[in-house]
Structure 1
């Protein structure tokens, strides 16, 4: 099936031609923290079909936004520099969307690492530079805060400047701006 296009000579239109399809930015969100296996992506994108995930991964690879590493029976997907360049877009969407989350509906899926983008702003507010490991329930991720911005990565930092432990409800309140992060 040929890819649909807006056929507008417009930078926003061209960008949306590449990443505006359903699920595409969420696949990129999952890969912002580092390489992931197909099964991990599928598990952390509830509601996506295997066909849709495979299609999105192939599209992103074809467009040079991710690479597929094959190592025998194990393979993983990782963002290229072009894919990582979308992080500020995701960050802006998370800042805009966090206050609009509202109350969680019983049908809403949730993963603690989905709070990583908006939570990063709160973490950077208490540690202007360095690394911070954050435990949200069973999920562990870390932030690297530099003058260039904030990035998050799977797992703990090897030598964090600070370590935080939050429950999912606390992390949600901090990410949505309902409460401040204090240490």
Structure 2
């Protein structure tokens, strides 16, 4: 008897939703697109680059398959994400953010900054993924001028991020000029080790949060031995304060 395949997530094949606040206000229009539960957290995951549905479901504990499929469909219809098929031998579909979706990074960063005081205590029921600490760390590294790939090692796991990224305005200007480079279109951060990192740092999650809140600067943490920087690249030199 042939092996039965697991059921695929239910497709949200319904017309484009018309639900709206119906207010001529930029904030209301934005919430029309991203105000539903889970949408911004899906954006957070897709800022790490193209993800398969199963990967998204694994890194969004608590979301149902139906809700995840529905939100992804809404994001496609709203121009925030696209779905594409990977070339052989992968033969898998992935979701990735559009330029408009990637422009939500400062929105998420500001939201994370506002919510940071609520992380004073980790609850026993709290899930955690290492790359969730990328947002506060990106804020602490905003002044780093060198572009490069930085691998970050925490007790919770390993992730990597890209430093020296241009602003949303610079990316928009580059797109209009037709000069968008691979570095500009790369994912902001990613789960797991980097293939060829320009530098590596080791620190703890609590320090990531303190860095994001501005309680301590990156340079101060390096100087106090709270962050270990390894590598011989210009990026590693800058991170060490050289």
Q: Same fold (TM over 0.5)?
A: yes
TM-score bracket relative to the smaller structure: 0.7 to 0.9
Number of paired residues?
181
> Is the counterpart of residue 171 in structure 1 residue 208 in structure 2?
yes
Of 191, 194, 197, 1:156 maps to 194
Say if 1:136 and 1:166, in contact at 8 Å, map to a contact too.
yes
Deviation of 1:139 (Å): 1.9
Q: TM-score, normalised by structure 2?
A: 0.66
The runs of at least 4 aligned residues of structure 1 exceeding 3 Å deviation read 167-181
1:62 paired residue number: 77
Change (3 A) 1:175 1:110: farther
Q: Distance in 1 between matches of 2:209 and 2:128?
A: 10
Of 150, 162, 167, 1:143 maps to 162
Deviation of 1:3 (Å): 4.6
RMSD of aligned residue pairs (Cα, Å): 2.4
More strand by share: 1
Q: Distance in 2 between matches of 1:142 and 1:89?
A: 18
Q: For 1:140, what is the secondary structure of its paired residue? A: strand
Question: Can you give the 5+ residue segments of structure 1 that lack an aligned partner in the other structure?
Answer: none
Say if 1:115 and 1:175, in contact at 8 Å, map to a contact too.
no
Q: TM-score, normalised by structure 1?
A: 0.85
Which has more radius of gyration?
A: 2
Question: Can you give the 5+ residue segments of structure 2 that lack an aligned partner in the other structure?
Answer: 1-13, 169-186, 223-242
Of 113, 119, 134, 1:95 maps to 113
1:104 paired residue number: 122
